[in-house]
Every structure is written in C-alpha cells, then in structure tokens.
Amino acid sequence: MSTPFNGVAAAPQSTVPMGALIKDSTDQGFKADVIDASLDTPVLVDFWAPWCGPCRALTPALEKVVNEKAGAIRLIKINIDENPQIAGQLGIQSIPAVFAFSGGRPVDGFMGAMPEGEVRRFAEKVIAAGPTPQPEEGSMESQITEALAAAEQALTEGDLNRAAQIFGMVVQHQPDHGAALIGLARVYLAAGEADQAQATLDLVPEDERKGDAYTTLVNSIRLLAEAADLSETAALEAAVAANPDDHQARYDLALAFNAEGKKVEAAEALIAIFKRDRTWNEDGARKKLLEFFDAWGPRDPATNKGRRLLSAALFS
C-alpha cells in the first residue's frame, strides 16, 4: 500500500420498483427474494403466523416504514406455518421475528413487537449499512479491503498484536479511514484499554460514525464506564438476595455482570426487574437491555437468548 485510498464510495441508489417493495414469499423463493435481492437493496424478512397477535400489530408498522423509504429497503413476509424450513434454519423460536439481510447475508434482527418509531430507526440503521460497490481487483481500495479483512480475522482469533499492526498500517496510509480507526479502537478495548479505545474512536470522521461496528463500540465503552464505579459483584448479589425487590441493586448487578463478560446473567437480571416492575425507573430495565443488545451485536448468542427471554416476558 504505497498511496492512500482517497475515500469510501457511497451506497448506490436503489432501482427497486415500488410494486416490488413488499411481497409474500416461501421457503423455495427465499434465495431469490431475500439472499439475491439483498445484494442490491437491504431486505427485511417478517416471520409471522395467522394465530400470532403481536404479528398483526407489527406487520402494518413494517409495511408503513418500508413504503416510506421509497425503494431503499424491501419487506418479505413469510408465514412460518406454511413455510417452516427457513425459520427453523435461522433458529426462530418465537414470533414475530424480523431479520435484516444485506449483501446476501443476515446483518441484524429483532424478536417481538416493536413500536413504529423503533421499527423506523431499525430500518434506517439497516439502510445506512447497506451494500456498497465492490472495489476493482488490484486497486488501492481493494488492497485496503483485503487488509481490513485480515485484521478482522486476526481480531476474531484473538491475535490482538497482528490486528493492531494491520489496522494501524491502514491508518498510517489514511489517517481518517473510519473502518480502520473503529477496528483499532476495538483492539484497544479488547486489550482492556478503554481510554485509548475512546481516544481512537474520537478520530473517526463525523460522516462515518454509523453502522453496527461503530454503535456496538460506543455502547461497549459507555457500559464499561458505567460499571467502573459499582460495588463488587458479590456485594450486589448479597443485596439482591436480601431484598429481591431492590431493583437498583439488581440493575447495578446487571451492569457488573456485563462488565465481567457475563452477558446472559446480565440479561437475566434486567429481565427479572422487568417481570417484577415494568415501570421501574421509567422502563429502565428494558431500555438498558436493548442497549446491551446493541453493544453485543445482533449475532452474539447472548443477544439472541436475551431477545427470546424478553419476548417471553413481554407476552407472558
């Protein structure tokens, strides 16, 4: 990489006909209607069934938001009673369930009913992270793309030194490369250097402060900061055991669990508050749980389990 890449190409404008924005599909049509279609335009998949009451509330909100976006995103509806195969492959255990596909793969999702405003924000996040043109082979952009992929692989494998070296090399050639800066900040956070992670994140250009990776990192740093001044976990557990209705202690315990990497325990603690008193702290337990999901990312097993537990609590 002898010269810096000068910019990130903008996402292409959608050419999806308005009549094709919303349609019903099947297990057999899933590849064409969702996988292939999402290579050009993000696709939301609404898994529903005629007997599902919350589905009847959610689907109209999805349809309204998709129509508002005028071709920037599509909606595919799948009746799981008639088409159980894809739902089974995706591990769907409760409905409504919505999966977002972009670039031929699932990138986000949620389970349970959601107000129209939250549906709109969810769709906007998916659109913002939608498909972008692929770089030409051998170009500087292609080299940077390959380098970032190698750095991501190293980070996934826990090789923080190699990941930092590669992300740092990209930043050296292009100091304002958002993806490289976010990657480098993730390395710092994984190494326990939250302050350095925040300092690196602050260098990300304003117009690139979006997408799952950025949002997840911001939330992770903030949650760690919130947990820094809490009492020790053992003391909080004792407080909850002594008084199960001490919601503040249980809430602090959830933050402490999350800081220790005990994600499922953190989710269970917040859901326990939600079950006991949904109105506590202005729905604070549910709101914090949603922040956890954002921080953990949509593909984290703890997010999936937490969403199932929350869905069960919502409709129990």
Q: Write the DSSP assignment of 120-164 as a string of letters.
A: HHHHHHHHHT---PPPPTTSHHHHHHHHHHHHHHHHHTT-HHHHH
Considering the chain, what is the average pLDDT of its residues?
A: 82
Over residues 210-231, mean pLDDT: 74
Within this chain, do residues 32 and 103 fall inside the same structural domain, yes or no?
Answer: yes
Beta-strand relationship, 105-111 and 97-102:
antiparallel
- pLDDT level of residue 9 (50, 70, 90 thresholds): very low
Q: Which helix (H) or strand (E) holds 224?
A: helix 211-228
Q: What pLDDT score does 265 carry? A: 94
Q: Specify the CATH number for the domain of residue 31.
A: 3.40.30.10
pLDDT value of position 132? 54
Q: Is residue 289 part of a domain?
A: yes
197 — pLDDT class (breaks 50, 70, 90): confident
Q: Is the pLDDT score of 7 beyond 50?
A: no
Instruction: For residues 254 and 200, state if they share a domain.
Output: no
**DSSP one-letter code for 10:** P
As for how many domains the chain has, the answer is 3
Q: Is residue 290 included in any domain, yes or no?
A: yes
Of 224, 259, 282, the residue that ends a domain is: 224
Q: Residue range 239-248: average pLDDT? A: 85
Do residue 31 and residue 121 come from a single domain? yes
Mean pLDDT score, 124-148: 72
Under 8 Å between Cβ of 152 and 183: yes
Task: Name the more confident of 73 and 143.
Answer: 73
Instruction: Name the token pair of 267.
Output: 């989710």
Look up the CATH number of the domain holding residue 258: 1.25.40
pLDDT value at 167 more than 60:
yes
Same domain as 125, residue 32: yes
| 254 and 293 Cβ atoms separated by less than 8 Å | no
At residue 208, the pLDDT reads 85
Average pLDDT over residues 257-269: 90
Q: Which of 95-99, 213-217, 223-227 has the highest mean pLDDT?
A: 95-99
Residues whose CB falls within 8 Å of the CB of residue 81, separated by 6 or more in sequence, listed in order: 49, 50, 51
Q: What is the pLDDT of residue 10?
A: 30
Tell whether 2 is covered by a domain: no
Q: Does 160 reside within a domain?
A: yes
Smallest CA-to-CA distance from 311 within 271, 278, 284 is with: 271
Residue 58 class from Cβ within 10 Å (0-12 exposed, 13-18 middle, 19+ buried)?
buried
Same domain, 117 and 176: no
Instruction: Based on the fold, state whether residues 269 and 180 are members of the same structural domain.
Output: no
Average pLDDT score over residue span 190-216: 84
**Top-confidence residue, 240 or 270:** 270
Same domain flag for 29 and 115 = yes
Reported in sequence order, the residue ranges of the chain that DSSP labels E, i.e. its strands, are 22-24, 43-48, 74-79, 97-102, 105-111
122 and 152 co-located in one domain: no
- Which of the residue ranges 153-157, 221-225, 235-239, 286-290 would you say has the lowest mean pLDDT? 221-225
Confidence category of residue 138, pLDDT binned at 50, 70, 90: low
Q: Terminus-to-terminus CA distance in the chain, angstroms? A: 57
Query: What number is the average pLDDT over the span 255-269?
Result: 90
Alpha-carbon 136 to chain mean position: 29
The verdict on 150 and 123 lying in the same domain is no
Domain extent, residue 43, equals 22-129
**Which of 129, 163, 193 is the last residue in one of the domains?**
129
Report if residue 145 sits inside a domain: yes
Tell me the catalytic residues. 52, 55
Quote the CA–CA distance of 58 and 127 in Å, as a whole number: 19
Scan for tokens 């290579």, then name that residue.
39
* Mean pLDDT in residue range 290-300: 86
Within this chain, do residues 149 and 77 fall inside the same structural domain, yes or no? no
Q: Above pLDDT 90, what percent of the chain?
A: 29
